[in-house]
Structure 1
Amino acid sequence: MLCAICTALIKCIPLFSYCPAPDYENNTRHQSLHELKNSVLEGCVVCKRILVHIGRQYEDGETWLENALLTVDHNARLIGYKAYHYGDSCSVRYSLPYDAQGGVFANIKMPQLVFSSPQIDPTIPSITPQSTSTADAIDLWRYWFRTCSESHPVCREKELGLQHFLPSRLIEILDTGDTLHWRLVSGLDINTTRYVTLSHCWGESEHIKLIKDKVAPFREKQPESILPQTYRDAIRVALSLGVPYIWIDSICIIQDDPDDWKNQASLMGQIYHNACCNIAASWGTDGTDGCFNPERSCLKSDVSTRIKMDGDHGPEEYLVTDEDIYKSEVIEAPLNRRGWVIQERYLARKQLSFAKSQVYWECLELSASEDFPKGIPKQMQDPYQESMASAKPSLNPVGRSQLRFIWSKVVESYSMCDLTKPSDKTVALAGLASEMKAATGYTYLAGLWEEDIEKQLLWESREPSQHFPLKHSPYIAPTWSWMSLDGPVRYDTKYGYQHIQEYTRSRYGPSCPPLIRILKASIEAGSSDNMHSFVSGTLELRGIAIRAVATRIMDFRSPGSMYRLEIVNHAKVINDTWTRPIIVVIWWDENVASKLYDPEGWYRLKKERAQSLLFMFVLDGDRSHWKEGLVLERLRGQEEKYRRLGVFGTQHLASGKFDLGYVIRRKLGLEPIMNHTYGWTPIAQKDFNLEDERLKDLVYTVTIV
């Protein structure tokens, strides 16, 4: 049921047949937490969803709510909302005002609910409300798979364009009636190209593994019972799709044979891309959980509820769903925190994701779920999906600028994931990088691309969530690559957002030319295709730089801190043109939580940052991008070799900030014309030449390793 206030709200949503002129702001709403709680006790499903959402943010939600109730004026307006119409659905976003007396509601996250008509189609199998397990959706996932294979033009075209490929080993599923058996077979010995793959979390559970001594025994018929639950569920899904072959990493790669692992790992992209479907055990944290959640019935009502209301032509049924359910159950699922899974999900052409409350389907033409079997509403999907030419995350052919944006988001997601072995970092992304290379023709350089590399150098270490970022040891990648960092990063926005460059220019003014010239960019790898297992990398730059000692003057809440630069060995520059103090914000690549947490690391970083460093300008700030240059440390005993320590910027600081354009124009004898609208002096390409003698005391040639 619904309370009178939620009923009045719903009747103002344009989705419904009897809605009047929408009046979202002035409609009746709950006036207090007390009133909201009474509605829950009376059985209002929407009010219950709001109250549960608030309560989950505290360990003892009920006690906290009781105490919070005492601080709130009983007559104050408490629950506000805004509705957003999306054609066949509507999102309602609830809000709590700030309580001036205690601020108890200031940081509470409120739910966002999607109201829609149920996607009822007699040709699509439905799931009964009494269903207790995601295994009950078998007819629905069969329907999705069959419809995609037979009726999706884009998916069919992609399949027809595949080259013949089979993994070296596959698991053959033997259905002998009452029980299932399996055995390991060679890809050369089967006469079909149809197989499925499994994406799963290894976790802490004991896994059955293929080792050298097990190759021969595993070629004989083995009972299903020796497999972990996730594997057992996966082979049942495979059989339900009519596919008797499945690839599972721990059984199809010889785990104690480094050469076999290296060879098979390099083929991982092809293995997942050529599979006819990928089965993702999204909700499980290890092999004991399985694919199917047997307790989904108690979760389902918390994320989606059907309600009935009287409409113009009799009773009408509507679905109320959490807007972030796809994000929480698929995008942020335990499985998608694994580094390997990023490329598995992007490269798989079709995927069945078994989540906590329901099953999800993704292919190039459709993203669907049990709640939305004909298609998940756009506002509930990945916010970056619009940049892709398909309904699922993929590199399916789009323009190069969109591919750059997708790559930047892949990097950001991947850098936040976990890898059991840090040494896997380069190979676990190699398949996706190879796909990007094939689509663009670009040259891959350890996580970056040689083409327009100057627009990718200003990646930054993001604010840590679980641990503070440090450089990988032993060697993973050169310091100018984000892959060298063990922690989350934000890709250089100059590269990732090129597809909205015109918008950026209109909003922030004209962009400035690069202040560096790339003399050499190369990588040496232990793999034959140069896509992973990097052993060294060199980036040679020539550009504008200053050598200075940085003194911290202020901390921000983000990883960046404000510093004052004291120039060394640039007396002429100071006397002639350096008319303002140089204040910068530095985003260091490495950070430690505190001196107590990691005293050795803390003292090492303090010593590094106290010496004179080179601040090399890469791109002059254009107000849309804060990061302007690289912070470099000269290697001891190697005059021209440097390593990267971080990035810096000046353009977003208050008035009186350092203005590089002003300095360069003065050095060149040009009138320092300021762009008064945007507060910085533009540098025209025609006025800028690194070989100009008048700039020689500002120009450096450096090799970053």
Structure 2
Amino acid sequence: MGAYYTNAVCLISALGASDSSTGLFAPRPAHRYPTTSCVIGFDKRTNEYIHLPAPQRALVDEFDAAPLLKRGWCFQERLLARRTLHWSRNGVFWICVGDMAARSEFSSRCDTFSTDPRISNSGIFHGISLPGELKQPWSPWMHYVQEYSSKGLSFATDRLVAVHGLGTRLAAIGGDEYFGGIFGGHISWGLIWQADPEDDARKKLDCFPSWSWASCQSDRSVIIADQSKPWVECVRLEGFPAFQNPLDFQGLEKRTLRVNAPLLKFEPCQYRRGRNTSYEFETTG
């Protein structure tokens, strides 16, 4: 699946469709009825007309409102594709990862979108250098999980297989091993995840291992700890299960992790932050 979208010449996205029954080429009223600036007054002091400019059609606004991007299976398709043509109700937008920008039929360039993480985090799959910490192949995964974990899926069992292409591609780029939503070379921070404590609707999915973020279903997303912080790095993975299937984690032999790590004694220090009780831990020996 990862190679399928990474090697595609162009991905055509039905951004304007309300659901699968609408089809790709939804009506574009903004194209049929173009808007222009409107004169709303005249400044006698400067002898100039006052104009109300036409609204700017930005792809980032289309992304925020598109039902398509709320679906889990569409997540890795968008990130793995080198070129994407988005057909929306407010215009046709063209994205090329190498250009790091979006173009539309209304303007030559939309530079403001080039810094949006939903596009800037995808260049790693095509050998494009990225700023700062995103140069590490596994670093974008933290952002991917946070955005993807709140997406909708018709079947909860698809939660890992729908991003399996992303994980395996990142592992291949970084010379790492991927399984169950985490990377073997960075096992410690891969296991440090949390759901929003105020999301009372979150629930545990028994079809996935409890150590994986995929086992927590939450509408407010799951957060993986920032790997730039000094988490314990003396944890060594002894090996992922020999049998690996992103759709089948039934049985201990298919979901057990074996790690090697020292035992440390921790003294918790309780403090309050807002309405939540938190703890800090310090080693005592």
TM value normalised by structure 2: 0.75
Alpha-carbon offset, residue 339 of structure 1: 0.8
Report whether the alignment pairs 1:396 with 2:18.
no
User: Which residue is equivalent to 1:543?
Assistant: 263
The C-alpha deviation readout for 1:336-372, integer Å capped at 9, x for no partner, is: 1111111111122221111221111112224112332
Contact 2:177/2:185 (8 A) holds in 1: yes
2-structure distance, mates of 1:286, 1:513: 43
Contact 1:269/1:347 (8 A) holds in 2: yes
2-structure distance, mates of 1:269, 1:512: 32
User: Which residue is equivalent to 1:358?
Assistant: 91
Moved over 6 A (4+): 298-301, 314-318, 552-555
Greater Rg, structure 1 or structure 2?
1
The C-alpha deviation readout for 1:548-570, integer Å capped at 9, x for no partner, is: 9xxx997845xxx31xxxxxxxx
Amino acid at match of 1:271: Y
User: Which residue is equivalent to 2:217?
Assistant: 486
- CA-based RMSD of the aligned residues comes to 3.9
Report whether the alignment pairs 1:459 with 2:193.
yes
Q: Give secondary structure in 2 for the equivalent of 1:542.
A: coil
Contact 2:86/2:93 (8 A) holds in 1: yes
User: Which residue is equivalent to 2:102?
Assistant: 367
2:149 pairs with 405, 415, 420, which one?
A: 415
Alignment of 1:463-612 (within 5 A): 468-473=201-206, 475-476=207-208, 478-487=209-218, 488-493=221-226, 495=227, 498=228, 512=230, 514=232, 517-518=235-236, 520-527=238-245, 533-534=248-249, 535-540=254-259, 541-546=261-266, 556=274, 561-562=276-277, 585=278
Shift of the 514–272 alpha-carbon distance from structure 1 to 2, 3 Å rule, reads closer
1-structure distance, mates of 2:203, 2:197: 12
The C-alpha deviation readout for 1:250-308, integer Å capped at 9, x for no partner, is: xxxxxxxxxxxxxxxxxx3233233322111113232332333436239977xx75357
Alpha-carbon offset, residue 381 of structure 1: 4.7
Report whether the alignment pairs 1:291 with 2:24.
yes
Alpha-carbon offset, residue 457 of structure 1: 2.4
Q: Give secondary structure in 2 for the equivalent of 1:286.
A: coil
1-structure distance, mates of 2:266, 2:231: 18
Alignment of 1:264-275 (within 5 A): 268-275=1-8
User: Which residue is equivalent to 1:445?
Assistant: 179
2-structure distance, mates of 1:526, 1:515: 25
Q: Give secondary structure in 1 for the equivalent of 2:255.
A: strand
Alpha-carbon offset, residue 419 of structure 1: 0.9
Shift of the 430–385 alpha-carbon distance from structure 1 to 2, 3 Å rule, reads closer
Shift of the 328–446 alpha-carbon distance from structure 1 to 2, 3 Å rule, reads same
Unaligned runs of at least 5 residues, structure 1: 1-267, 499-510, 563-584, 586-648, 651-658, 665-694, 696-705
Q: Give secondary structure in 2 for the equivalent of 1:451.
A: helix
Q: Percent identity?
A: 23
Amino acid at match of 1:514: V
Alpha-carbon offset, residue 458 of structure 1: 1.8
Amino acid at match of 2:255: S
The C-alpha deviation readout for 1:471-517, integer Å capped at 9, x for no partner, is: 113x22x2222112122201211x2xx4xxxxxxxxxxxx6572753
Shift of the 515–358 alpha-carbon distance from structure 1 to 2, 3 Å rule, reads closer
Shift of the 307–434 alpha-carbon distance from structure 1 to 2, 3 Å rule, reads farther
Shift of the 545–533 alpha-carbon distance from structure 1 to 2, 3 Å rule, reads farther
1-structure distance, mates of 2:4, 2:237: 38
Higher relative contact order structure (alpha carbons within 8 Å, sequence separation ≥ 6): 2
Contact 1:411/1:491 (8 A) holds in 2: yes
Amino acid at match of 2:232: P
Shift of the 295–354 alpha-carbon distance from structure 1 to 2, 3 Å rule, reads closer
Shift of the 385–290 alpha-carbon distance from structure 1 to 2, 3 Å rule, reads closer
Count of aligned positions:
267
Contact 1:351/1:363 (8 A) holds in 2: yes
User: Which residue is equivalent to 2:139?
Assistant: 405
The C-alpha deviation readout for 1:607-642, integer Å capped at 9, x for no partner, is: xxxxxxxxxxxxxxxxxxxxxxxxxxxxxxxxxxxx
TM value normalised by structure 1: 0.33
Alignment of 1:179-328 (within 5 A): 268-294=1-27, 296-297=29-30, 306=37, 320-321=54-55, 325-328=58-61
